[in-house]
C-alpha cells in the first residue's frame, strides 16, 4: 500500500496550475478565481460583474457540490459557462480546470471567472493557475475572518467586502478589517461593494479591466 502525503498531492496540483498558467499566458485570457464562504455573495458579485463587463467575451467555470442553479442564473450574462459538480468535495483543483481548458472553448474568452466551492479553508491551498485570486467577505459574516482564516487573505490579490448595504445592521468594523488585512497582506487590494445599490461595482470592474489590459500588453 502506498501512503500519499498531502504535500505530494499539493505538488501535483502546483504542476497542473503551472500548465494552466502557460495556456492562459499564450492565449491572453485573464482568469479570476473567486473564493469565499457559502453565502458570501460570489454568484451575485459575478452576475453584476458580468453585466457590467458585457463588452468583453466572458466565460465562467461554476463550482458547486451539487446543482447547476448558479450556472443557470449566470448563463444569460456570459458567453460561455461550464458547471463542475464535485459531489461533496470542498474545493476545486488545478487538474479539473486544466481538463476544462482542454475540452471546452474557454480560451476564446477574454475574462474567465471561476466561482470556487463555498469554503474559506482549502480553496486557499489549491492554486488553480489563475492570474488573480479574490476572496469575498460579506458584512454579515463579521470582520474577524482574516484573523481566523489568514491563508485565504494572504494568498489573495484582492478582498471584496460584499453586502455593504447591510452595514447599518451589522457589527462589522471596516477599520479593524483594514488593519488586520494590512498585517496579513500589505499588497491586497480592497473593494467594498453592494450588488443591491451598485456601490463599489464600478471600481471593482475598472480594476479587472486594468489587469486585463496589463496582461495583454505584457
Nearest residue to 30 (alpha-carbon basis) of 114, 131, 155: 131
Taking contact as CB under 5 A, which single stretch among the options 29-37, 65-73, 95-103, 152-160 is the one that binds Mg ion? 65-73
Q: Which does 91 bind (CB under 5 to 8 A by kind): Zn ion, Mg ion, none?
A: Zn ion
**Which residues is 112 bridged to in the sheet?**
31, 59
**Does residue 70 touch Mg ion according to CB under 5 A?**
yes
**Minimal distance, residue 159 CB to Mg ion, in Å:** 18
DSSP secondary structure string for all residues of 158-182: EEEEE-GGGGGGS---HHHHHHHHH
**Does residue 151 touch Zn ion according to CB under 5 A?**
no
Q: Between residues 117 and 159, which has the closer beta carbon with respect to Mg ion? A: 117
Q: How far apart are CA 121 and CA 119, in angstroms?
A: 6
Report the phi/psi class of residue 136: left, alpha or beta, with left for phi > 0 and alpha for psi in -120 to 50.
beta
Q: Between residues 65 and 122, which has the closer beta carbon with respect to Zn ion? A: 122
Taking contact as CB under 5 A, which single stretch among the options 24-32, 44-52, 115-123, 154-162 is the one that binds Zn ion? 115-123
Could you give the residue ranges of the DSSP H alpha helices within 38-169? Answer: 42-52, 69-74, 94-103, 145-148, 150-154
Taking contact as CB under 5 A, which single stretch among the options 70-78, 146-154, 181-189, 197-205 is the one that binds Mg ion? 70-78
**Does residue 47 touch Mg ion according to CB under 5 A?**
no
**Minimal distance, residue 115 CB to Mg ion, in Å:** 6
Q: How far apart are CA 118 and CA 38, in angstroms?
A: 4
Interacting residues with Zn ion (CB under 5 A): 90-91, 122
Amino acid at each position: 500500500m502506498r501512503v500519499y502525503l498531502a504535500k505530494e498531492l499539493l505538488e501535483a496540483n502546483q504542476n497542473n496550475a503551472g500548465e494552466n498558467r502557460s495556456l492562459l499566458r499564450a492565449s491572453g485570457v485573464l482568469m479570476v478565481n473567486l473564493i469565499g464562504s457559502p453565502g458570501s455573495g460570489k454568484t451575485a458579485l459575478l452576475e453584476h460583474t458580468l453585466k457590467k463587463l458585457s463588452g468583453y467575451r466572458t466565460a465562467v467555470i461554476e463550482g458547486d457540490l451539487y446543482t447547476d442553479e448558479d450556472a443557470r442564473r449566470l448563463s444569460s450574462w456570459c458567453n460561455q459557462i461550464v458547471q463542475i459538480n464535485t459531489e461533496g468535495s470542498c474545493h476545486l483543483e488545478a487538474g479539473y480546470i486544466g481538463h476544462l481548458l482542454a475540452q471546452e472553448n474557454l480560451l476564446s474568452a477574454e475574462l474567465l471567472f471561476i466561482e470556487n466551492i463555498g469554503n474559506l479553508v482549502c480553496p486557499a491551498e489549491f492554486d488553480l493557475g489563475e492570474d488573480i485570486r479574490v476572496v469575498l467577505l460579506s458584512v454579515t459574516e463579521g470582520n474577524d475572518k482574516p484573523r481566523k482564516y489568514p491563508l485565504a487573505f494572504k494568498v489573495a490579490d484582492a478582498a471584496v467586502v460584499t453586502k455593504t448595504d447591510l452595514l447599518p445592521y451589522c457589527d462589522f468594523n471596516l477599520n479593524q478589517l483594514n488593519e488586520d488585512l494590512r498585517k496579513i497582506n500589505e499588497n491586497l487590494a480592497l473593494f467594498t461593494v453592494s450588488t443591491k445599490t451598485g456601490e463599489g461595482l464600478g471600481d471593482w470592474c475598472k480594476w479587472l479591466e486594468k489587469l486585463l489590459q496589463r496582461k495583454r500588453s505584457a
